[in-house]
Amino acid sequence: MLSGKRVVLGVTGSIACYKALDLASKLTQAGALVDVIMSYGATQFVTPLAFRSLTHRPVVTDAFDANAEYAVEHVELARQADIIVVAPATVHSIAKLALGLADDPLTTTAVASQAPLLVAPAMDADMFQHPATQENLERLRLRGAVIAGPGRGRLASGLTGYGRLLETPELLGYIAYTLGRQGDLAGRVIVVSAGGTAEPIDPVRVVTNHSSGKMGYALAEAARDRGARVVLVSAARALPAPPLVEVVPVATAQQMCDAVLARTPEADALIMAAAVADYRPLSAADQKIKKTGAELNIPLAPTTDILAATLGQAGPGGFVRVGFAAESENLVANAKTKVTAKSLDLIAANDITSEGSGFGADTNRVTLIDRELNVEELPLLTKYEVGNRILDRVARLLRH
Ligand code: PMT
């Protein structure tokens, strides 16, 4: 997503400047070309050399630098930028951006650019709450800028409140979202399920599986980064919510079923990456089951098949339905049976015995099988890239 993108990173004078170093580093590692423009205030907190060392690019601090890389620096950077990110953005820099002032290299570049603008405020809570700041942020929003945060927590002043610069992973999510807003899924609603459901045996024990939720979360992020509005019905227990994705937390198969059925009427596509329990304990004990030393048998009842339940909703002109099949043998044959049995538009057959694939891994190896039972074997890819390959198919199905 970020590879080859030109990011102008505006850094203004806040103690949160130290976090911008991490952002510049992560953007560069992701393959972006990062041009940092620092305000005078920012140079009092961290040095231009620190940014230059991380981005391997000149850092702009002076609008009148005779040794600048470009003859008319602000115009060149403004033209080449795919996105302008101001992080941290102080009260003063937000006010200048809102008014369209151009009295330093950053604000001059911003008014000269057509690139999308992402503003990540960082300031004391009272400064953030001030009506002038709120009005300025609203003015930027109305002009199409994306405002990222601020987060809530302990501030440098010792106060607690809204004013913290978002952390790097969240900012990266906002940047990917802003870059992808006009993508091929813009205006579409995609419902994704993720994680392994947990079926209670008693108040302390559950029947569950090894799904971490990574595949579903990567899919949700990939759909967001192509412009979709994403609803993530999640049974994952340990993953942070992806920025700008609506997360509906669930635990059991029945809760996941209810949540999916509630959201699919507005959906253009449903992608079931979750590992849903096929069976649940017939009834959960009210109290913790005591150890007796005797054999314990727990009767199981089948759960509702969620994909099958959505079939009635997806009439002509209905939504695209995509399943996954986690298989340990006869991958393609078993997955083909599921395509037909659940009347799916597409299935991602997941070989969970393959190295680096399936539960908990950051990568996955899947074979795509469509409604006509055509087979496409994909190589080992990151889960985000697998998500994109599935979304390529979804986007194509939605165009027809
Ligand atoms: O979460 P990770 O750690 O990243 O691991 C990813 C994964 C291995 C969980 C994922 O890639 C995957 O394969 N998910 C589907 C696992 C699975 O339960 O497959 P299945 O063959 O049991 O089910 C087939 C399809 O029916 C799935 O899309 C499943 O979500 C759906 N299903 C299953 C049971 C049920 N009651 N209702 C359903 O809709």
Are the C-beta atoms of 176 and 1 separated by less than 8 Å?
yes
Residue to probe by mutation, ligand 1, list 272, 330, 366, most atoms within 8 Å of CB: 272
User: Is the distance from the beta carbon of residue 212 to the nearest atom of ligand 1 less than 6 Å?
Assistant: yes
CA of 272 to the centre of ligand 1 (A): 7
* Atom in ligand 1 nearest the alpha carbon of residue 324: 28
Each as own residue / partner, the long-range contacts of residues 49-52 (CB below 8 Å, 24 or more positions apart, any chain) are: 50/21, 51/9, 51/11, 51/20, 51/21, 51/24
User: Is the distance from the beta carbon of residue 387 to the nearest atom of ligand 1 less than 6 Å?
Assistant: no
Phi-psi region of 143 (alpha: psi -120 to 50; beta: other; left: phi over 0): alpha
Distance CA 98, CA 80 (A): 22
Fold agreement (6-179, 189-399): yes
Domain 189-399's class?
alpha beta
Distance CA 277, CA 183 (A): 34
Phi, psi at 55, each rounded to 5°: -100, -15
**Per-residue pLDDT, 317:** 59
CA of 267 to the centre of ligand 1 (A): 19
- Please tell me whether residue 178 adopts helix, strand or coil conformation: helix
Q: Where are the domains of the chain?
A: 6-179, 189-399
Instruction: List the beta bridge partners of residue 279.
Output: 302
**Per-residue pLDDT, 316:** 55
* Atom in ligand 1 nearest the alpha carbon of residue 303: 36
CATH 3.40.50.1950 fits 6-179, yes or no: yes
| Protein residue with its CA nearest to atom 24 in ligand 1 | 325
User: Is the distance from the beta carbon of residue 271 to the nearest atom of ligand 1 less than 6 Å?
Assistant: no
**Residue position matching structure tokens 């015995």:** 353
**Per-residue pLDDT, 400:** 79
pLDDT digits (tens, 9 = 90+) for 101-139: 999 999 999 999 999 999 999 999 999 999 999 999 999
- pTM, two decimals, is 0.92
**Per-residue pLDDT, 72:** 61
Instruction: Quickly count: other Cβ atoms within 10 Å of residue 342's Cβ.
Output: 18
| Per-residue pLDDT tens digits of the chain, which is 400 residues long | 799 999 999 999 999 999 999 999 999 999 999 999 999 999 999 999 999 999 999 999 987 666 666 656 667 889 999 999 999 999 999 999 999 999 999 999 999 999 999 999 999 999 999 999 999 999 999 999 999 999 999 888 888 899 999 999 999 999 999 999 999 999 999 999 999 999 999 999 999 999 999 999 999 999 999 999 999 999 999 999 999 999 999 999 999 999 999 999 999 999 999 999 999 999 999 999 999 989 999 999 999 999 999 987 755 557 999 999 999 899 999 999 999 999 999 999 998 888 999 999 999 999 999 999 999 999 999 999 999 999 999 999 998 7
Distance CA 377, CA 366 (A): 7
Instruction: Quickly count: other Cβ atoms within 10 Å of residue 371's Cβ.
Output: 14
Residue to probe by mutation, ligand 1, list 191, 208, 211, most atoms within 8 Å of CB: 211
DSSP 57-119: S--B--TT-TT-SSTTHHHHHHHH-SEEEEEEE-HHHHHHHHHT--SSHHHHHHHH--S-EEE
Count Cα neighbours of 285 within 13 Å in the Cβ-side half-sphere: 14
User: Is the distance from the beta carbon of residue 326 to the nearest atom of ligand 1 less than 6 Å?
Assistant: yes
Residue 264 DSSP code: G
**Per-residue pLDDT, 346:** 97
**Residue position matching structure tokens 């890239």:** 385
Given 136, 209, 334, 350, the catalytic residue: 209
**Per-residue pLDDT, 158:** 85
* Atom in ligand 1 nearest the alpha carbon of residue 213: 1
pLDDT digits (tens, 9 = 90+) for 281-298: 999 999 999 999 899 999
User: Is the distance from the beta carbon of residue 384 to the nearest atom of ligand 1 less than 6 Å?
Assistant: no
Residue to probe by mutation, ligand 1, list 264, 276, 381, most atoms within 8 Å of CB: 276
* Atom in ligand 1 nearest the alpha carbon of residue 347: 28
CA of 327 to the centre of ligand 1 (A): 10
374 counts as catalytic: no
**Per-residue pLDDT, 315:** 56
**Per-residue pLDDT, 352:** 87
